[in-house]
A and B are shown apart, each in its own frame.
Chain A
Amino acid sequence: MGVVFEDDVSGAWNEMFSAPGQPRPIYERLLADLNAYQPQELRLRSEQLAHTFIDRGVTFAHSGEERPFPLDLVPRILGALEWDRLSRGIAQRVRALEAFLADIYGEGRIFDEGLMPRRVVTSSPHFNRAAFGITPPNGVRITVAGIDLIRDEHGNFCVLEDNVRIPSGVSYVIENRRAMTQAFSALFSDHRVHPVDSYPSRLFAALLAAAPAKAQDPVIVVLSPGVFNAAYFEHVLLARMMGVELVEGRDLVCRSNHVYMRTTNGERAVHVIYRRVDDDWIDPLQFRPDTVIGVAGLVNAARAGNVVISNGIGNGVADDKLVYTFVPEFIRFYLGEKPLLDNIETHRLEDDEARAEVLGHLERYVVKPVDGSGGKGIVIGPQATKTELKALAKEVASAPRNFIAQRPVALSTHPTFVDESIVPRHIDLRPFAVNNGEEVWVLPGGLTRVALGAGELIVNSSRGGGSKDTWVLNDESIPFRGAVPPASARSRRYSGPPRQNDEYIFEQGEQ
Chain B
Amino acid sequence: MSERLGLSIRHHTGFTYDGLAKASYNEARMTPRSLSTQSVQTSKILVRPVIPVSTHVDYFGTVVTVFDIQENHPQLEVEATSQVESWAATLESPLGWSELRSERLTDRFSEFLLPTHRTTLVGTVEKEIEDWQNVADVHQCVEAASEYVRNEIAYVPGATTVSATAQEAWDRRKGVCQDITHVTIGLLRAMGIPARYVSGYLYPASEPTVGDVVEGQSHAWVEYFSGSWTGIDPTNGVRETERHIIVGHGRDYDDVAPLKGIYQGPASTQLGVVVEIRRTH
Contact A129 B108 (CB under 8 A): no
Pair A285/B27 contact, Cβ less than 8 Å? yes
CA distance A118 to B194 in the complex (A): 14
A118-B25 contact, Cβ under 8 Å, with A129-B58, A256-B68, A284-B262: no
Q: Which of A179-187, A297-305, A467-475, A477-485 contacts B (4 or more CB under 8 A)?
A: A297-305
Q: What is the chain B residue whose CB lies nearest that of A122?
A: B111
Contact partners of A111 in chain B: CB under 8 A? 107-108
The yes or no answer to B56 lying at the interface (CB within 8 A) is: yes
The size bracket of the interface on A is 20 to 34
Least distance between B15 CB and chain A CB atoms (Å):
15
CA distance A289 to B261 in the complex (A): 9
Q: Contact flags (1/0) for B103-127 with A, using CB distance below 8 Å?
A: 0001110110010000000000000
Q: Which residues does chain A contribute within 8 Å of B157, judged by CB atoms?
A: none
Minimum CB distance partner of B68 in chain A = A297
Interface flags for B227-267 (1: CB within 8 Å of A; 0: not) read 00000000000000000000000000001000011100000
Residues of A within 8 A of B54 (CB): 256-257, 300, 304
Give bound CA distance, A255 to B71, whole Å: 11
A-side contacts of B57, CB under 8 Å: 133
B59 in contact with A285 (CB, 8 Å): no
Contacts of B23 in A (CB 8 A): 253, 296
Contact partner of B107 (CB less than 8 A), chosen from A118, A256, A289, is A118
Contact residues in B for A297 (Cβ distance below 8 Å): 25, 68
Residues of chain B within 8 A (CB-CB) of A304 are: 54
In whole Å, how far is B248's beta carbon from the nearest beta carbon of chain A?
13
Rounded to whole Å, the gap between the CB of A111 and the closest CB of chain B is 8
C-alpha spacing A332/B23, complex, angstroms: 47
Across the interface, name the chain A residue whose C-beta is closest to B112.
A122
Asked if B70 lies at the interface with its beta carbon under 8 angstroms from chain A, I say yes
**Which residue of A119, A129, A296 contacts B25 across the interface (Cβ within 8 Å)?**
A296
Q: Would you call A254 an interface residue if the criterion is a C-beta within 8 Å of the partner chain's C-beta atoms?
A: yes
Q: A253, A254, A285, A303: which contacts B261 (Cβ < 8 A)?
A: A285
Query: Nearest Cβ in chain B — how far from A134, in angstroms?
Result: 10
Q: Which residues does chain B contribute within 8 Å of A253, judged by CB atoms?
A: 23
A129 contacts B59, C-beta separation under 8 Å: yes
Cβ of A133 and Cβ of B68 under 8 Å apart?
no
Shortest Cβ distance from residue A108 to the other chain B in the assembled complex, whole angstroms: 10
B52 CB–A CB distance under 8 Å: yes
A320 to chain B, nearest CB (A): 15
Please provide the chain B residues from 71 to 120 with a CB less than 8 Å away from any CB of chain A in the complex. Answer: 106-108, 110-111, 114
**Would B58 and A118 count as touching, CB distance under 8 A?**
no
Bound CA span A132–B23, Å: 25
Distance (whole angstroms) from the CB of A353 to the closest CB of chain B: 15
- A22 vs B70: C-alpha distance when bound (angstroms): 70
Quick check: is A117 within 8 A (CB to CB) of the other chain?
yes
Residues of A within 8 A of B106 (CB): 119
Determine which of A117, A119, A254, A303 lies in contact with B56 in the assembled complex, contact meaning CB atoms within 8 Å: A303
Q: B47 in the interface, Cβ–Cβ < 8 Å?
A: no
Name the A residues within 8 Å of B107 (CB-CB): 111, 117-119
Interface residues of A in 246-267 (CB under 8 A from B): 253-257
Q: Please, which residue of chain A has its CB at the minimum distance from the CB of B51? A: A256
> Is the Cβ of B110 less than 8 Å from the Cβ of A119?
yes
- Contact status B56-A285, CB under 8 Å: no
Given the complex of chains A and B, what is the CA–CA distance between A123 and B54 in angstroms? 30
A245 to B68, CA, bound (A): 25
Known contacts A132-B58, A285-B261; is-contact A256 B52 (Cβ 8 Å): yes
**Chain A residues with CB under 8 A of B191:** none
Least Cβ–Cβ distance between A119 and chain B, in angstroms: 4
Our pick among B25, B59, B60 for the contact of A254 (Cβ within 8 Å) is: B25
Chain A residues whose CB sits within 8 angstroms of the CB of B261 once the complex forms: 285
CB pair A257–B66 under 8 Å, yes or no, is: yes
Chain A residues whose CB sits within 8 angstroms of the CB of B59 once the complex forms: 129-130, 132-133
Determine the chain B residues whose CB is within 8 A of the CB of A123 once the complex forms: 110-111, 114
> How close is A295's CB to chain B, nearest CB, in angstroms?
10
Contacting residue for A300 out of B51, B66, B110, CB 8 A: B66
Cβ–Cβ < 8 Å partners of B262 in chain A: 284-285, 289, 296
Q: Which residue of A lies closest to B70 (CB)?
A: A255
Nearest chain A CB to B67 CB, angstrom units: 8
- Name which residue of chain A comes closest to B255, CB basis: A129
- The residues of B that contact A289 with a CB separation of less than 8 Å are 262
Q: Out of B25, B52, B70, which one reaches A285, CB within 8 Å?
A: B25
Contact with B along A104-127 (1 / 0, CB 8 A): 000000010000011100110000
Whole-angstrom distance between the alpha carbons of A122 and B59 in the complex?
12
Distance between A333 CB and nearest chain B CB, rounded to angstroms: 17
Residues of B within 8 A of A122 (CB): 110-111, 114
Closest CB in chain B relative to A398 CB, distance in Å: 14
- Chain B residue at minimal CB-CB distance from A105: B59
A297 to B255, CA, bound (A): 17
Contact status A133-B27, CB under 8 Å: no
Contacts of A129 in B (CB 8 A): 58-60, 255
Are B68 and A254 in contact, with the CB atoms below 8 A? yes
Q: Name the residue of chain B whose CB is nearest to the CB of A112.
A: B108
When distances are taken between beta carbons in the complex, the residues of chain A under 8 Å from B260 are 285
- Which A121-171 residues sit within 8 Å CB-CB of chain B? 122-123, 129-130, 132-133
A293, chain B: closest CB distance, angstroms: 14
- B residues within 8 A CB of A285? 25-27, 260-262
Interface centre among B58, B66, B70 (most CB of A within 10 A): B66
Quote the shortest CB–CB distance from A380 to chain B (angstroms). Answer: 31
CB distance from A141 to the nearest CB of B (A): 16
Report the bound CA distance from A300 to B262 in whole Å.
14
For the complex, what is the distance from the CA of A130 to the CA of B262, rounded to whole Å?
Answer: 16
List, in ascending order, chain B residues with CB within 8 A of A133's CB: 56-59
Report Cα–Cα, A303/B110, bound state, in Å. 26
CA distance A300 to B68 in the complex (A): 11
Alpha-carbon distance between A253 and B69 when the two chains are bound, in angstroms: 12
Within A275-319, the residues touching B (CB, 8 Å) are: 284-285, 289, 296-297, 300, 303-304
Give the distance in Å from the alpha carbon of A130 to the alpha carbon of B27 in the complex.
Answer: 12
CB-CB nearest in chain B for A291: B262
CA distance A284 to B23 in the complex (A): 12
A303 to B56, CA, bound (A): 9
**What's the Cα separation between A132 and B110 when bound, in Å?**
17
A296 to B67 alpha-carbon distance, docked (Å): 11
Cα of A304 to Cα of B53 in the assembled complex, Å: 11
User: B103 CB to closest chain A CB, in angstroms?
Assistant: 8
Given contacts A255-B70, A303-B56, list 6 more A-B pairs with CB under 8 A: A119-B106, A123-B110, A255-B68, A284-B262, A285-B26, A296-B68
A-B CB contact pairs (8 Å), 13 listed: A117-B107, A118-B107, A119-B106, A119-B110, A122-B110, A129-B60, A130-B59, A253-B23, A255-B70, A284-B25, A284-B262, A297-B25, A300-B66
**Residues of A that sit less than 8 Å from B by CB:** 111, 117-119, 122-123, 129-130, 132-133, 253-257, 284-285, 289, 296-297, 300, 303-304
In the A-B complex, list the 4 residue pairs whose CB atoms are closest, starting with the nearest.
Answer: A119-B110, A132-B59, A129-B59, A122-B111
Q: What residues of chain B have their CB less than 8 Å away from a CB belonging to chain A?
A: 23, 25-27, 51-52, 54, 56-60, 66, 68, 70, 106-108, 110-111, 114, 255, 260-262
